[in-house]
């Protein structure tokens, strides 16, 4: 988006409880999901981008790739370095596994909770910043199907207090976290409101997962060590599964377009 249409900085942002002004309301106007046909369709700005635009967009595409690469490595790492893995990916199952190892090996549970908490929320603020900077254009890129865009539209129309509640619950199952975070920035939510709500939700979830693993203890550790024993085969199965699933989804998409 050009300099003239850039989103105002925090000093000019509307209060959390205030209705959007004319400029914000214009940016909130729905345009529909972005149909990605060329590389240009993946760009959320118009005109000449600033260097920071390029860096931010690169991070938004690298983050999902990072988690995708880490996925098949989980079986190899979870029994060897569960706390570090909790920080790297913040996955609920990994945090629970680290909690189980804390119980068996007498490690402080708070270390697991802290690692999981940081791992869950470390990149979330980038989505808020992207929504604040590019508004509807970035939402339509990531909500690029009719179904996900309709969901984004429903979230956008929620009262402010419900949007804040969704930010708190963004890491919980069933909540489209990245879309919620994009919309929170797009709607003008202040950074510290977003950050504190996001941090609170991540802390509750990290503590809950770590506590469940801690309570299970030895049986969970035994299972994770069994996974570690066959980690190579488990990882290969995950890679094959991802490839098959991606191919199936692409075939369905092409079949739907051909109708």
* pLDDT tens for each residue of 192-244: 999 999 999 999 999 999 999 898 888 877 766 665 555 555 556 665 666 66
Biggest CA-to-CA distance, the chain: 60
pLDDT of residue 68: 84
* pLDDT tens for each residue of 142-173: 877 777 788 888 888 889 899 999 999 988 88
**CB-CB contact of 8 with 15 (8 Å):** no
What sign has the CA pseudo-torsion 139, 145, 151, 157? positive
| Cα gap 15→179, rounded to integer Å | 21
| Cα gap 162→150, rounded to integer Å | 17
Question: Degrees (nearest 5) of the Cα angle 120, 122, 125?
Answer: 110
* Average predicted confidence (pLDDT) for the chain: 77
**CB-CB contact of 1 with 44 (8 Å):** yes
pLDDT of residue 224: 65
* pLDDT tens for each residue of 43-83: 777 767 888 888 988 888 898 889 888 887 887 788 888 89
Both tokens assigned to 142:
């990531």
Predicted model pTM: 0.70
pLDDT of residue 236: 61
């Amino acid at each position: 988006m050009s300099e003239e249409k850039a989103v105002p900085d925090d000093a000019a942002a509307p209060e959390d409880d205030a209705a959007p002004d004319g400029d914000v309301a214009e940016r909130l106007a729905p345009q529909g999901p972005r149909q990605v046909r060329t590389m240009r369709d993946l760009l959320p700005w118009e005109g000449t981008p600033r260097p920071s635009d390029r860096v931010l967009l690169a991070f938004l595409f690298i983050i999902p790739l990072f988690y995708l690469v880490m996925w098949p490595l989980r079986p190899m790492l979870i029994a060897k370095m569960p706390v570090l893995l909790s920080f790297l990916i913040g996955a609920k199952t990994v945090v629970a596994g680290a909690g189980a190892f804390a119980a068996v090996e007498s490690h402080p549970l708070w270390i697991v909770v802290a690692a999981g908490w940081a791992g869950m929320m470390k990149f979330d603020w980038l989505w808020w910043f992207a929504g604040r900077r590019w508004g509807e254009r970035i939402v339509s890129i990531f909500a690029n199907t009719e179904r996900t865009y309709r969901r984004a539209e429903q979230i956008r129309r929620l009262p402010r207090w419900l949007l804040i509640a969704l930010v708190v619950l963004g890491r919980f199952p069933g909540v489209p976290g990245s879309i919620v975070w994009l919309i929170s920035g797009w709607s003008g939510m202040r950074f510290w409101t977003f950050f504190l709500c996001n941090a609170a939700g991540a802390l509750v979830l990290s503590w809950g997962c770590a506590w469940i693993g801690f309570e299970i203890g030895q049986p969970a550790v035994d299972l994770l060590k069994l996974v570690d024993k066959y980690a190579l085969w488990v990882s290969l199965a995950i890679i094959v599964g991802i490839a098959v699933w991606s191919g199936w989804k692409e075939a369905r998409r092409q079949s739907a377009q051909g109708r």
